[in-house]
Amino acid sequence: MSADRSRAKPLIVPVFIPHAGCPHRCAFCDQTAITHAGPVLPDAAAVARQVRTFRSLARPDRHPVQIAFYGGNFLGLPEETVRSLLAAAQDHVQRGAVHSIRFSTRPDTIDERRLDLISAFSAADVELGAQSMDDRVLALSNRGHTAETTRRAAAMLKARGYNVGIQMMVGLPGEDPEGAAATGRAVADLRPDFVRIYPTVVLRGSVLARRFREGRYPPLSLADGVERTAALRLLFEGRGIPVIRTGLQASADLAPGAAIVAGPYHPAFGHLVLSKIFFDMMVDASGELIAASGELFFKAHPRRVNALRGMGNGNLRALESRPGVRSVRVGGDPALEPWDLTVSDRTGRTIFRRAVESPEPGSSTCG
Ligand code: SF4
């Protein structure tokens, strides 16, 4: 097992600031629906409650512990508010209960003045909501900034030594598969420390919901959302950039018919993405063996066996229904890397595939 995979998992203590600091509402967004919280800013007591709750529920070896201000535009808040929220978090850093702070913010909030302000606190990770690197898509999404804003913000953060995360979306208005791939390449060129990929869903109360009702916004199907995200995940992993999340966090509030009106939402979206990547590899690798005997035995890293199976064994059933396939079995092999696959038949002939030629073998998040 590689050093990276044996490392303890970070513990993120989320503190939500729904829509706080937002200059306007982006077309796809309704943070109140996502977090089910009103636009009330947390105070020091609320931050302390979150730290207590999350630490008491987590395994003691989780490392590092970070307080994360999510759900709004952190550096868009008034300076005094930014300072008091960071001070509330810093208090827990000083007591040793928390290691550092992270927050998400819009690229157009990154300037020298704000970076000077946060430099007095233990902020380590800054997540930029880039969403797209196509100016037309950004305009159609009412973002109010351009791709160049994101490039400049990422460079400034890196120059100050922050870990930079980039959040991007697939299926925004005006985006097609080539546009999603182009955004992926442009994001990778920023050399972020990690990436999150979110499918665009239509949230009740959002501008997109109105456009959807009026027939002016066709959301991606679930299959298309998974396919675009799978291609992006491979792109980033191939450039050595960990993808720490694909898909929205599942919750009762996000169940279809609750906050979500339409779009490619699935509570196990990330699993669907991995399953799609492995299904495509299984089809590609098995051609010659189907012709020879039709008895297929696939192996992957043990943590990837569920991806081999697919949701509800869907990958296995789809393969079994292909002409010439007589049986399909799957198993784990710890000697394989997270993006490797082998398939063999009863003659012992084995075919090997690797989805990602990672510059750092074993560096994948394997999640
Ligand atoms: S996407 Fe971010 S900046 Fe836009 S409205 Fe939502 S929280 Fe605010």
CA 104 – ligand 1 centroid, Å: 10
Closest approach atom of ligand 1 to CA 28:
1
pLDDT at 237: 95
Burial of 98 (0-12, 13-18, 19+ CB in 10 A): buried
CA distance 89 to 42: 11
Asked if residue 205 has its Cβ within 6 Å of ligand 1, the reply is no
Q: What is the pLDDT of residue 362?
A: 40
In CATH terms, are 3-267 and 276-354 the same topology?
A: no
Specify the pLDDT at position 361: 41
CB-count burial class (<10 Å; 0-12, 13-18, 19+) for 224: middle
The answer to whether residues 328 and 316 touch, using CB atoms and an 8 Å cutoff, is yes
Each domain of the chain, given as residue ranges in start order, spans 3-267, 276-354
Q: Which residues pair with 199 in a beta bridge?
A: 170
Atom nearest to 18 CA in ligand 1: 7
Partners of residue 293 on adjacent β-strands: none
What pLDDT was estimated at residue 9? 85
> For residues 353 and 281, what is the distance between their CA atoms, to the nearest angstrom?
7
Measured in Å, residue 274 CA sits from the centre of ligand 1 at: 28
Supply the residue whose CA is at minimum distance from atom 4 of ligand 1.
26
Alpha-carbon dihedral 290, 293, 294, 297, rounded to 10 degrees: -100
Residues 203, 258: Cα–Cα separation, whole Å: 9
Contacting residues for 286 by C-beta, under 8 A, at least 6 apart: 296, 298, 319, 325, 343, 351
Question: 3: exposed, middle or buried (C-beta count within 10 Å: 0-12, 13-18, 19+)?
Answer: exposed
CA atoms within a 13 Å half-sphere pointing along the CA-CB vector of 256:
7
Distance CA 276, CA 126 (A): 30
Architecture of domain 3-267: Alpha-Beta Barrel (3.20)
The per-residue pLDDT string of the chain (367 residues; one tens digit each, 9 = 90 and over) reads 333 444 578 899 999 988 788 888 899 987 555 554 445 789 999 999 999 999 999 988 888 999 999 988 999 999 999 999 999 999 999 999 999 999 999 999 999 999 999 999 999 999 999 999 999 999 999 999 999 999 999 999 999 999 999 999 999 999 999 999 999 999 999 999 999 999 999 999 899 999 999 999 999 999 999 999 999 999 999 999 999 999 987 765 566 666 899 999 999 999 999 999 999 999 999 988 888 888 999 999 999 999 999 999 999 999 999 999 999 999 999 999 999 999 999 888 999 999 997 554 444 433 4
62 close to ligand 1 (CB < 6 Angstrom): no
Distance, CA of 366 to CA of 355 (rounded, Å): 13
- H-assigned helices in the chain: 3-6, 31-35, 44-57, 79-94, 112-118, 135-140, 147-159, 177-189, 207-213, 222-238, 269-292, 305-309, 314-320
Q: What is residue 258's predicted lDDT score, i.e. its pLDDT?
A: 67
How far is residue 115's CA from residue 157's CA, in Å, rounded to a whole number?
8
d(Cα 17, Cα 19) in Å, to the nearest integer? 6
Per residue in 308-355, pLDDT (tens digit) is 999 999 999 999 999 999 999 999 999 999 999 999 998 889 999 999
Residue 41 DSSP one-character state: P
Q: Are 121 and 87 in contact (CB under 8 A)?
A: yes
26 within ligand 1 shell (Cβ under 6 A): yes
- The CA angle 221-224-230, to the nearest 5 degrees, is 140
Distances from the Cα of 29 to the Cαs of 100, 204, 263, in angstroms?
A: 28, 9, 13
**Contacts of residue 45, Cβ cutoff 8 Å, sequence gap at least 6:** none
The hierarchical CATH code for the domain 276-354 is 3.30.2320
> Beta strands 350-354 and 123-131: pairing type?
unpaired
| Gap from CA of 297 to ligand 1 centroid (Å) | 47
Residue pLDDT, tens place only, 175-222: 999 999 999 999 999 999 999 999 999 999 899 999 999 999 999 999
pLDDT at 1: 34
Res 251: pLDDT:
66
Check if the beta carbon of residue 44 is closer than 8 Å to that of residue 89. Answer: no
For residue 29 and ligand 1, the question of a CB distance below 6 A is answered with yes
pLDDT digits (tens, 9 = 90+) for 64-73: 999 999 988 9
Give the model's pLDDT for residue 253. Answer: 57
Task: Report d(CA 134, CA 147) in Å as an integer.
Answer: 6
With a 6 Å cutoff on the Cβ, whether 73 touches ligand 1 is yes
**Cα 349 versus chain centre, distance:** 37
Taking the model in full, what pTM does it have?
0.90
